[in-house]
Amino acid sequence: MEDQSAAIYTIVINGKPEGPYTIAYLKNINVQPGTFIRKPGMDDYKEAHEFPELRALFGFSYEQTAPQYFASFDQRLLAAVIDYFILTLVYIAVLLVGFMFITDKEQRLLIGVSFIPLIPVFKLIYGSFADATTHQGSVGKRLLSIRVTDQKGQRISFSISLLRNVAKILSVLPLFFGYLYIFLNKKSQSWHDIAANTLVIKDRLI
């Protein structure tokens, strides 16, 4: 049996591999369940929670992720554009119906502009329901064959979907960096995916 006290680990900190360190040293640094770590003889890094000895040391739980193809940034962006385009068309249709009863041009302009900020709100509500349905995604996602899942590729509940969509504020506010984090994350997760512990996956080619 391997002597865990003598095992050495290379750990990724701020995107750079550091070490090797002993397991005793790891107690003194900020190791998270998703921290990438490698031991000698391993072909690639694994997350800290995948090591039994580190789970015992830090009290992590093992979060098994079903093998998936993760949706790329451009797929997710295009899906969002499609959804906003559809919601904008619906908004325009509602306005046209309303204008049948409003003849004053200034009132029409005021109403048309005033309610534009409601489109993102409708997107949040629609997305929360759509991601929790059996389709696991909005119309935009379905057209691109991508869907929202939990860590095992299963359908998420409405409460998790609502949390994920509300948490998009985290991804938007700091100059959309929360979305760009997809490029730095092994599972292509944005900040709101991490907050809700969800994935966005695409259908396998075979």
Handedness of CA 75, 86, 198, 179 (dihedral sign): positive
pLDDT at 204: 61
Asked if residue 112 is part of any domain, the answer here is: yes
pLDDT at 142: 94
Q: Looking at the structure, tell me whether residues 121 and 30 fall in a common domain.
A: no
Q: What's the whole-number mean pLDDT along residues 183-204?
A: 89
Q: Looking at the structure, tell me whether residues 36 and 106 fall in a common domain.
A: no
Asked if residue 124 is part of any domain, the answer here is: yes
| Beta bridge partners of residue 120, listed in sequence order | none
Cα dihedral 73→44→195→145 (10° resolution): 40
Cα 64–Cα 132–Cα 146 angle in degrees, nearest 5: 70
Q: Looking at the structure, tell me whether residues 41 and 80 fall in a common domain.
A: no
Inform me whether the pLDDT recorded for 5 exceeds 80. no
Q: Looking at the structure, tell me whether residues 73 and 49 fall in a common domain.
A: no
Inform me whether the pLDDT recorded for 141 exceeds 90. yes
Q: Looking at the structure, tell me whether residues 101 and 196 fall in a common domain.
A: yes
Asked if residue 139 is part of any domain, the answer here is: yes
Task: Give the pLDDT confidence of 147-157 residue by residue, as tens digits.
Answer: 999 988 889 99
Task: Give the pLDDT confidence of 164-192 residue by residue, as tens digits.
Answer: 999 999 898 877 888 999 998 888 999 99
161: containing domain:
69-202
Task: Give the pLDDT confidence of 19-38 residue by residue, as tens digits.
Answer: 888 888 888 888 888 888 99
Q: What's the whole-number mean pLDDT along residues 134-154?
A: 92
Asked if residue 64 is part of any domain, the answer here is: no
Total domains in the chain come to 2
pLDDT at 6: 58
DSSP symbols for 111-148: HHHHTTTHHHHHHHHHHHHHHTSTT-S-HHHHHTTEEE
Q: Look at residues 38, 58, 78 and tell me which one is the last residue of a structural domain.
A: 58
Q: Looking at the structure, tell me whether residues 12 and 52 fall in a common domain.
A: yes
Q: Kindly report the average pLDDT of the chain as a whole number.
A: 87
pLDDT at 2: 45
Asked if residue 116 is part of any domain, the answer here is: yes
Q: Looking at the structure, tell me whether residues 74 and 13 fall in a common domain.
A: no
Handedness of CA 168, 188, 34, 134 (dihedral sign): positive
Q: Looking at the structure, tell me whether residues 137 and 80 fall in a common domain.
A: yes
Q: Looking at the structure, tell me whether residues 20 and 87 fall in a common domain.
A: no
pLDDT at 3: 47
Q: pLDDT band for position 47 (50/70/90)?
A: confident
pLDDT at 102: 82
Q: pLDDT band for position 114 (50/70/90)?
A: confident
Q: Looking at the structure, tell me whether residues 54 and 78 fall in a common domain.
A: no
